[in-house]
Structure 1
Amino acid sequence: MSWERFTRIGLVINGKSLMIVALAMVSTWASLQLGLVADYPLTIISTAVIFPIVFSIGHAYKRREAALDDYGTIKAHGRALYFAARDWLPDEDGGAKQERLHHIEAVLSNLLTACRDMFKGRIEDMPRTERDVYAAFSQLSDFVKRMRGEGLASGECSRCNQYVSKMIVAFESVKHIYQYRTPRTLRAFSDVFIILLPLIYGPFFAYCAVEYNAPVLTYVMPVLFAVILTGLDNIQSHLEDPFDQIGPDDVAINAEKFVELLGCGENGSDCDGARVMQAKLEDYVAAKAVA
């Protein structure tokens, strides 16, 4: 088993799991010592904990998939804008075209970087980071206006504006996924019972131990019970925020790779020179900053 798998297991079974395991074992031991034995129904567990957590996991997973779809929409329409700047204007390869391509690359890089900074940051910082995203969208709109002045047909200019509009719609959708999480009251309800049930079910674990009539199996049920409950809760926690880069299933916004691959020419002929284009873009951004 690779180290990466061990780290993933550590995300599911953590300090909280060990604490609940300890509570369940202490409760079982105390019940055995006091002779408290009872056959509790397991339906309480499924109703109070399992169902709310599984519901939250399903909802969080749908949010993650929606965020992936919207992220793909932003990238796809951004690439379409780049191709429009490269192929739709009636000019020859030259300094003006290269400057235009460097400009759209810089704007798209700023946009994705601003999105990444916003979604990885704290919600308290959102009023500041959100401005950077809208500033990048404003630059995209100005870029379409610039192409119109350079001879882009009105129909194609309208199409480019639609690309920008769809990117903004996708961003707003992802922003609301980032802002509003799964129902917090449902999560609080589950958290309370994850702590209480291992204590309350001590007599049931003691009953199971008596039924097994095998001392070595006395604490198997409480440990298994606690690990399952906390494991499901931890899975839900990691899916809750798809951008925090803690869990292995988070959405990673790779602005650098996206811009680097924009340098691929028609039919992929210039993909080997993508890193050269990235270096040129960095020089262009630095020059604009100085200016």
Structure 2
Amino acid sequence: MSRYLIIINFRTLITFFLSIAVTYLAYEFKVVYNIDLTLMSIAIIFPLVFTIRGAFRRREKALEHLSRFKAGLKTVENYMLYSSQLNEEGKNQAVENIKKINHSLYLHLTTLSEDTSDLDASINHLIEFIKNNGEFIPKGCKEKIFRFLRDVIESSDNLVAIHAHRTPISLKAYCLIFIYIFPVIYTPTIINKIGVDNPSWLTFFIVMLSEFILISLYNIQDQ
């Protein structure tokens, strides 16, 4: 059930409050008019579609880089574990360093911080470990480890970049502002079409439903 409620947040509550407040005030002060909402719809829907498409493209790219990161890290781990000249203590230390890289990346992706010092440090620790224990790792194996480690570093850098550079803030602000002011323009037109003498709950329902759809589409790009 939680996956269906993930698009509901504090912005949803704000739009519900605005929908109720604007509709109440429109009835209270008898604000009714009939205007063409085509331009308003384009002003909201087009940027929303653009940002949602961009968000899904970034998601696809992120999944691609994440699978490459995981595969590269797992391959490096396997090469370390099957290095016959490396003792058990060395193997355990290598696995621990690899786990730190994995943990550091996932921890970074769950925050809004752009500081990657922990991730960089964990990668450097593994590189230093490989250099310090180079005599216990066969030359051919070591070359393959560094090749796959390069894939790990490139994919992690791409994931960090995708995480940091999302939808432009100005475009998101533009969409959100128009969604918030939408009831002000939309409600009197709905009252005019439904009729002042008809039940007001129908207007409340239509305005709240319209706002819920718009803000839910907006919230999708954050997932």
Which interval holds the TM-score relative to the shorter structure?
Answer: 0.7 to 0.9
Paired position in structure 2 for 1:228: 213
Task: Map 1:200-239 to 2 at 5 A.
Answer: 200-210=185-195, 213-236=198-221, 238-239=222-223
Give 1:146 deviation, angstroms. 4.7
Does the 8 Å CA contact 2:187/2:203 hold for their aligned counterparts? no
Whether 1:178 and 2:178 are equivalent positions in the alignment is no
Give 1:33 deviation, angstroms. 4.5
Whether 1:168 and 2:153 are equivalent positions in the alignment is yes
Of the three residues 102, 107, 110, the one matched with 2:97 is 107
Distance 1:134 1:29, change over 3 A: closer
CA RMSD of aligned residues (A): 2.5
Of the three residues 17, 34, 42, the one matched with 1:39 is 34
Identity of aligned residues (%): 25
Does the 8 Å CA contact 1:140/1:164 hold for their aligned counterparts? no
Paired position in structure 2 for 1:48: 43
Q: SS where residue 167 of structure 2 aligns?
A: coil
- How many equivalent residue pairs? 223
Of the three residues 129, 141, 159, the one matched with 2:127 is 141
Code of the aligned partner of 1:53:
L
Whether 1:98 and 2:88 are equivalent positions in the alignment is yes
TM-score relative to the length of structure 2: 0.85
Code of the aligned partner of 2:37:
L
What is the CA deviation profile of residues 32-77 of structure 1, one whole-angstrom value per residue up to 9, with x for unaligned ones?
Answer: 4444433333323432222212221221222223222222222211
Give 1:181 deviation, angstroms. 1.9
Q: Which has the higher contact order (CA 8 A, sep 6+)?
A: 2
Runs of 5+ consecutive residues of structure 2 not aligned to the other structure: none
Does the 8 Å CA contact 1:114/1:133 hold for their aligned counterparts? yes
Task: Map 1:11-50 to 2 at 5 A.
Answer: 11-50=6-45
